[in-house]
Amino acid sequence: LESPILKLLDAFLCPGADPIRVLVTGAAGQIAYSLLYSIAKGDVFGKDQPIILVLLDIPPMLPVLDGVVMELQDCALPLLREVIPTDKVEVGFKDLDAAILVGSMPRKEGMERKDLLKANVAIFKTQGAALEKYAKKTVRVLVVGNPANTNCLIASKSAPSIPKENFSCLTRLDHNRARSQVAMRCGVPADAVKNVIIWGNHSSTQYPDVHHAMVNVHGKEVKAYDAVKDDSWLKGDFISTVQLRGAAVIKARKLSSAMSAAKAICDHMRDWWFGTLDGEFMSMGVYAGGNSYGIPEDLIYSFPVHIKNKSWNIHDGLTVNDFSRAKMDATAAELVEERDTALSFLSQ
């Protein structure tokens, strides 16, 4: 018979990790459809991390959600321990380790921006309150639904006992777009480009900045400006291409970015879970409090961050020239206006 000591030793050497609970909202939508397989397969939280997937959507979408659940079951993924489809926040937000808030009110034709903000304030106030009431205080929250920065701020303010540092919004898609544009221009793979930055809002005022980016050309790291050798492109079409890429995808596909958004969500959460590489920073929309770049404090603003032990820090000490300063301030001004409008709705 196996001795108790051998059993204990086996349990110590081969621990079965407890499953983590991961929520995806808007789970019947097209971004989630591109996202869920990667999470369930282990591409995000680790190849040995079992997962309970909680899928939240509005009641009319529940029949569609049933189809998504069937497909996840049919993938026969060993890490996927349970799938819970629901339209109830008390089920959806219970004991969460990670929350990926994809669902939001999309902008409809003829809709004023303030009407869009008002509808989303109501949604993210409810979801923030649900995080406060039901989720673990260590939950990591990623807001994807637009306007993502301000939605994230509202969710955080509605969950005061969860640290502000546990809330972030997605600007990794913009970061990946910028990285790819530079890589294509230089004729190198995307992973040969590092330390691009997205400053500010996930909107057309965002500032994609490559003043501190490096490109590996024939095994040697050179500054992006020296690798590209076209300053007018980097200060013109490059910026507008990244800023307006979402609209370009919609125009071509008649649908918004889903595959690339899902990939960016995976990148963002994987880095948050496992950390960034030494000498590299990534773009994340995070709480601006205490930043060294002169950005107003009470905002969710995209900064370059490095991550260790599931905690991010803004990468300090980068020089900011006048060109960058003007663009960083312009996107901050838009966020201040959005925040003030949203807070007036929050207090109603």
Check whether 174 is labelled as a binding-site residue.
no
Residue 193 marked as a ligand binder: no
Q: 24 vs 4, 34, 204, CA distance in Å?
A: 41, 12, 26
For 202, residues 6+ apart whose C-beta sits below 8 A from its C-beta are: 146, 147, 148, 149, 169, 170, 171, 173, 174, 285, 302
List, in order of start, the domains of the chain with CATH numbers.
Answer: 18-169 (3.40.50.720), 171-343 (3.90.110.10)
**Average confidence (pLDDT) over 287-313:** 98
Q: How confident is the model at residue 38 (pLDDT cuts 50, 70, 90)?
A: very high
User: Which pLDDT band holds residue 11 (cuts at 50, 70, 90)?
Assistant: very low
User: C-alpha distances in angstroms, 130 versus 118, 125, 326?
Assistant: 19, 9, 38
| Distance of alpha carbon 119 from alpha carbon 124, whole angstroms | 9
Q: What percent of the chain has pLDDT over 70?
A: 96
Does 253 appear as a known binding residue? Answer: no
Q: 175, 202, 212, 268: which one is catalytic?
A: 202
The span from the CA of 199 to the CA of 196, in Å, is 10
Per-residue pLDDT, averaged over 7-17, amounts to 54
pLDDT digits (tens, 9 = 90+) for 113-148: 788 899 999 999 999 999 999 999 999 999 999 999
- SS3 percent helix, strand, coil of the chain, rounded to 5, is 45, 20, 35
Q: Known binder of ligand: residue 57?
A: yes
Query: What are 301-319's pLDDT values in tens digits?
Result: 999 999 999 999 999 999 9
Residue 113 amino acid letter = R
Counts of helices then strands in the chain (DSSP H, E): 13, 14
- Summarised one tens digit per residue, pLDDT across range 231-248 is 999 999 999 999 999 999
Average pLDDT, the chain: 94
Residue 339 labelled as part of a binding site: no
Q: Is 145 annotated as a binding residue?
A: yes
Amino acid identity for residue 222 in this structure: V
In percent, how much of the chain has pLDDT > 90? 91
Reported as a single tens digit per residue, the pLDDT across 81-117 is 999 999 999 999 999 999 999 999 987 777 787 888 9
Note if 202 is an active site residue. yes
In whole angstroms, give the CA distance from residue 194 to residue 221.
10
Which single residue is written with the structure tokens 């000490």?
317
Q: Residue 198 phi/psi, 5° resolution?
A: -110, 120
pLDDT for 26 beyond 80? yes
pTM for this prediction: 0.94
pLDDT-based confidence at residue 175 (cuts at 50, 70, 90)? very high
